[in-house]
Amino acid sequence: MSVPAREPYKVGNGPPSSEALCFFVYQNITATMKLGRRPALTKNFVLEYTPPAHKGKMEETIQKLLPGVRKQESLSRHTTFRIGGPARYFFTATNSDAIIRALQAAKKLRLSVFILSGGSNVVMSDAGFPGLVIQIRNSKFKIRNFRVDAEAGVLCSSLVKATVHRGLEGLEWAGGLPGSLGGAIRGNAGAFGGEIKDAVVSVEAIDEKGRMHVFSKKQCRFSYRSSIFKEKKYIVLSAVLGLVKGDAKELSKIARSHMLYRKERHPLEYPNAGSMFKNCDAKKLPVRWKKHFANVMKIDPFPVIPTAAIIAAAGLKGLRVGNVQVSQKHPNYIVNLGKGRAKDVVRLVEKVKQKVKKKFGIVLEEEIQFV
């Protein structure tokens, strides 16, 4: 794609998620992808992308700054949805120093940046990403008494297994939760009445200028599926979690039950990005429909109507565009039936939103991020 020198290359990202850790040089936004094109940009965001005057020199420089960086790496290989075109440059950072080096290299070469961790909760564009994708793979953690010091790239499943085995209570609700700790913190992941914020003591993050920050739990500004790390320009590097003493057998039983629940009710047999929409706040439900959905209301962590129930009631199970489909098993999932495309996901999401709004007057809000 040809872009004139110093002409802003406009890239938008959709609703933020618990896993993608989207970080750009400037400001995160909410946007939607238009059919066949890159995402539409909202007025408060411009991501500068200036093609180098000498491509050969750019290639040589980035290889020196980031040994091991890959060119034209297919992003479909690194996302759970198995969708996405090539990243111009792709770098795997296994520690905080590597993350900082990658950010410095991107700044020097004037490259746009996207931070990717476990690869769930994100839909990458069919066109790929024109700058540098930094994959977070710092995954060390230590458990001391009731305290867990963990890097952002550690998988939630690893933390759950290790903590419940030691009889530490506070993460058992996350049994079967996909993705990494950093993504969970960024989006304040939650399930079965629990949220990651309940265990957080402090979070270490880096800003776009390479400055380190330590946030207390209060400073993290956690809210429903959000935090300061989603709202501002920070990358989560590590966190301190505080747990309490519990019964190892009972905690293991709870974690296993959640894993089995996901296996039985979620369409894990197909590539997917996770829950497509946030659950609907029961308080925001139109009055005429509150009684209709009263029997499915749950606490998550406040009263919500599961979006899966709303989509099912709208008769949208199995709705398909191209090779992506609303899951028959769990309609808040969109599955990739094989060779699915991002633009088809966008079209399907818009169809679901339009039909739900028309039938129930409910405006669904995406939990998945579009890049």
Task: Give the chain's domains with CATH numbers.
Answer: 1-137 (3.30.43.10), 141-250 (3.30.465.10), 269-370 (3.90.78.10)
pLDDT beyond 50 at 23: no
CA–CA separation, 196 and 171 (whole Å): 8
Name beta bridge partners: 303.
299
Q: Is the pLDDT of residue 9 over 90?
A: no
Is residue 369 within a helix (H) or strand (E), and if so which, with residue range?
strand 369-370
CB atoms inside a 10 Å sphere around CB 140 = 12
pLDDT in the model for residue 276: 96
Show the tokens assigned to 130: 């024109």
pLDDT attached to residue 88:
97
Whether the pLDDT of residue 325 is over 90: the answer is yes
> Residue 55 to residues 60, 65, 75, 119: CA-CA distances in angstroms?
9, 15, 22, 29
d(CA 212, CA 190): 27
pLDDT at 55: 67
Residues marked as catalytic:
225, 275, 367
Structure tokens at 173: 């609700």
Cα Rg of the chain, angstroms? 20
DSSP helix/strand/coil, 74: strand
Q: pLDDT digits over 189-203, tens only?
A: 999 989 999 999 999
pLDDT range class, residue 177, cuts 50, 70, 90:
very high
Name the average pLDDT for the chain. Answer: 86
Q: What CA–CA distance (Å, rounded) separates 140 from 134?
A: 18
Model pTM score: 0.81
Tell me the pairing of strands 334-336 and 194-195. Answer: unpaired
The first and second tokens of residue 7, run together, are 């002409």
**Mind listing the pLDDT tens digit for each residue in 118-174?**
899 999 999 999 999 999 999 999 999 999 999 999 999 999 999 999 999 999 999
- Residue found by looking up tokens 């818009």 in the block: 350
The confidence score (pLDDT) of residue 37 equals 35
- Reduce the secondary structure of 227-255 to three states and give it as a string: CHHHHCCEEEEEEEEECEECCHHHHHHHH
pLDDT at 131 (0 to 100): 96
Cβ-Cβ contacts under 8 Å for 273 (sequence gap 6 or more): 79, 80, 81, 120, 121, 122, 123, 334, 368
- Give helix then strand counts, H and E, for the chain: 9, 21
In the chain, the N- to C-terminal Cα span, in Å, equals 16
pLDDT class of 68 with cuts at 50, 70, 90: very high
40-49, 111-120, 215-224, 326-335: least confidently modelled range: 40-49
